[in-house]
Amino acid sequence: MLKMVGVETYYGKVKALHGVSLNVNEGQLVTILGANGAGKTTILKTISGLVEPECGTIHFDNKRIDNKNPEEIVAMGISHVPEWRRIFPELTVYENLLMGGFLIKNKDLLQERMEESFQHFPILKKRQTQIAGTMSGGEQQMLAISRALMLKPKLLLLDEPSLGLSPLLVQDIFNTIKELHKSGVTILLVEQNVNHALKIADYGYVLTTGKIFLSGTYEELLDEEKVREQYLGEGKYVRRSKLWSGR
pTM of the full structure: 0.88
Q: What pLDDT sits at residue 213?
A: 86
Query: Domain locations in the chain?
Result: 2-77+153-245, 88-152
Asked if residue 53 lies in contact with residue 16, where contact means CB atoms within 8 angstroms, the answer is: no
Q: Show the CA angle centred on residue 57, arms to residues 51 and 61, nearest 5°.
A: 100
According to CATH, the superfamily of the domain at 2-77+153-245 is: P-loop containing nucleotide triphosphate hydrolases (3.40.50.300)
Tens place of pLDDT per residue across the chain (247 aa): 999 999 999 999 999 999 999 999 999 999 998 888 889 999 999 999 999 999 999 999 999 999 999 999 999 999 999 988 899 999 999 999 999 998 998 999 999 999 998 988 999 999 999 999 999 988 999 999 999 999 999 999 999 998 888 888 888 889 999 999 999 999 999 988 887 888 899 999 989 899 998 899 888 887 755 554 544 443 343 444 444 444 3
CA distances to 52, 91, 211, 226 from 229, in Å: 36, 52, 19, 5
Q: Are 193 and 167 in contact (CB under 8 A)?
A: no
